């Protein structure tokens, strides 16, 4: 009888031990996850995808590889770098007349508006609703101008996929995760980390 009771007592203790252990592990993981999440949100260490304009080679894949039907990549304009030229390599096809006719424009969707400011300056404004992120203007601006036109991932459009489909095919590794509290790499606003 004593032997039986003794054996029964031993079995209960093992079960209690396992139950307690499981509860403790769950508790620790829940508290840990909550603490980690709280810490991340409080320190702003979420990450989003962004393009380094100094690495971008204007290959055109941003327009076609994004999972969204209309790419989340758009051209942006660093006005401080712009020369406001009459002959803009980002606006005009090479050798085209310096007129706003569609046949002269480099942009396939007419997403750049050109406005005369005063002699000899012209302003170029991107209509993001029309921009498809093809980088044709960026290529022209980089080759013949100051490089003020460049691509950026728009976070109001980006789904922030776990694996960015553009980043996986980017030939120059120009797309990487950046802190969500500094989601853009606008030319003139950040310094190149390393000269290539």
Least separation in angstroms between CB 122 and another protein: 6
What are the residue ranges of helices labelled H in the chain? 2-43, 62-65, 136-144
Instruction: Provide the token pair at 191.
Output: 């310094």
Q: Is 88 in the site for another protein (CB under 8 A)?
A: no
Residue of 47, 59, 128, 144 that binds another protein (CB under 8 A): 144
Q: Is 11 in the site for another protein (CB under 8 A)?
A: no
Closer of 49 and 91 to another protein (Cβ): 91
Q: Note whether 120 and 17 are within 8 A (CB).
A: no
Least separation in angstroms between CB 29 and another protein: 51
End-to-end CA distance of the chain: 83
Q: CA 58 from chain center: how many Å?
A: 15
Least separation in angstroms between CB 148 and another protein: 13
Nearest in space to 155 (alpha carbons), one of 164, 146, 143, 144: 164
Q: 189 in the Ramachandran plot: left (φ > 0), alpha (ψ -120 to 50) or beta?
A: alpha
Stretch that binds another protein, among 12-20, 88-96, 128-136, 158-166 (CB under 8 A): 88-96
Closer of 53 and 89 to another protein (Cβ): 89
Q: Is 195 in the site for another protein (CB under 8 A)?
A: no
Least separation in angstroms between CB 100 and another protein: 4
| Element holding 48 (H helix, E strand) | strand 47-51
Q: Is 171 in the site for another protein (CB under 8 A)?
A: no
Q: Note whether 196 and 95 are within 8 A (CB).
A: no
Catalog residues that contact another protein under the rule CB under 8 A: 83, 85-87, 89, 94-97, 99-102, 105, 110, 113-116, 118-122, 142-144
């Amino acid at each position: 009888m004593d032997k039986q009771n003794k054996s029964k007592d031993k079995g209960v203790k093992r079960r209690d031990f396992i139950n307690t252990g499981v509860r403790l592990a769950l508790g620790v993981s829940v508290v840990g996850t909550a603490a980690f999440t709280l810490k991340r949100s409080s320190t702003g260490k979420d990450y989003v995808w962004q393009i380094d304009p100094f690495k971008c080679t204007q290959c055109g894949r941003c327009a076609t590889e994004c999972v969204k039907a209309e790419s989340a990549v758009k051209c942006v304009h660093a006005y401080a770098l712009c020369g406001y030229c009459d002959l803009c390599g980002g606006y005009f096809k090479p050798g085209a007349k310096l007129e706003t006719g569609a046949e002269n424009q480099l942009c396939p969707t007419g997403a750049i508006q050109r406005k005369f400011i005063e002699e000899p300056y012209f302003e170029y404004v991107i209509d993001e609703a029309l921009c498809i992120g093809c980088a044709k203007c960026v290529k022209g601006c980089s080759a013949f101008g100051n490089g003020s036109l460049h691509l950026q991932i728009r976070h109001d459009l980006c789904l922030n996929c776990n694996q960015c489909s553009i980043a996986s095919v980017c030939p120059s590794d120009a797309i990487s995760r950046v802190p969500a509290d500094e989601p853009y790499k606008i030319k003139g606003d950040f310094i190149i980390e390393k000269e290539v």
